Chain A
Amino acid sequence: MSAPLTIPRWADVVLVPLVSVASAFLVAGLVVLFIGEDPLSVTRILLQGSLGSGEGLGFTLFYATNFIFTGLAVAVAFHAGLFNIGGEGQATLGGLGIALALLNLGFLPGFLLIPVGILAAAAFGAAWAFVPGYLQARRGSHIVITTIMFNWLATVLMVYLLGNVLRETGSMSLETRAFPEASHVPALHEFLGLFGVAIPTSQLNLTLLVALAACVAVWLLIYRSRLGFAIRTVGANPTAAAYAGISATRVTVIAMSVSGALAGGLAVNELMGYQHRLLLDFTAGYGFIGIAVALMGRAHPVGIVFASILFGMLYQGGAELAFEKPAITRDMIVVIGGVLILFAGALDGLFRRLVAGALTRRPRAVEA
């Protein structure tokens, strides 16, 4: 039972995630049936809404950008054997960093504002992850609990700041005034419009390119750098890492900081690419779905891109679905996320055994 499973690599990387995704959708289909809707027509609306039009596709990729950032954030921590559930809080702080920088540094030359905003998001996100990382490495506090507490602290802090300090004067809603025009990350339809290419209008903006660059950077960091090797060694076997002279403290703190900086990317996409102001709860659960994305994508950037597109489709298709079928809300996506985390994460062993069993069992006809 506890003998190591030998399944081919392609099965481990492709088949096992596919089986768990398929099973998760089966469960989601059952939920849809339970509330009295037809799973097939729901699937059709989902696909039509997310991929069926240029506009839909744009929104799908906009949401996918969010998931790439939060998925990468969880994945980098995973490689170091750390479970960072603090993506929500780190992205929230990233948003705060953006707001503080852009609202106070408006005097800078316009072309500097976007890089400054991105750096501020990364720095604030990293700082909010650094503290739990440091506390785990040096004081032995459990990173899961600390990051959960830091999520709530971030929420409370944001309510205070938006309510009392940063709120636009005279505004009733909890949001800041708009960021300077020059800091808006261009939407893709505007950008391509400059070159005479017309694509449908959507929230999709050039942050997508930043997200893809982050994927490459994470791949280089984890699989092609000395630090990445140290991170993976600590994650796989802390004792061996210690023998090899790798400082677990250093790796933990660095991996968490990188993870938090990546989570800050969510704030770049949402706030600099779309909302153009800081508002409450803009993280909207993307940080938690990032856990599902990382688990599904096997913590590899390529897998994460695929998983992010899938969740982007679910988000965009879910919005369309809510229009056409009032009985189904976007909360359905949270259900699918939860089932996926359960299947691809906690029940991973079960699915691997199932796949291994199916692969080693020879067809009866051959045996006879």
Chain B
Amino acid sequence: MKKYILAVLVDNKPGVLTHVSGLISRRAFNIESISAGYTEDEDVTRINIEVSVEDDRELEQVVNQLGKLIDVIKIVNLGLVDSIVRELVLLKVRATKGSLADIRNIVDIFRGNIVDVSPENVVIELTGSQSKINAICEMLEDFEIIEIARTGAIALSRGPIPIKNM
């Protein structure tokens, strides 16, 4: 299985997410993550879809089927162009007086931040690639991870050209 990040520009209208998620389920595509948000154009929403496919033909199907949706304006496979991929994770980790220093060391190594602290836990914020996030999760397992919230991957191409002009 190969993973790609698709940046999908859609009309900012009600029902769009229903259409996109309905299509994914109907065609039985494998989705690793999906996230959506406003863009520089108030009429346009950007949906970031991380998709797993067996081969190029399946990838072509995902892109073409999504492209058929009336509210889809543009799709660019950022896995095929030079791009920056990031994911944000928030981690709630058990922390005692004894373990706090060790946790801080790990967080510093990964260039994360501790954004909340209580006598029993800390909340860590970290941005990065998925492998980096997986690595910090592995390191923090020794301290007991109470809860994880991940955004899924988002991506932007390098250089001045936005995907709408690609």
A binds B: no
Hey, which bits of chain B sit against chain A, CB under 8 A? none
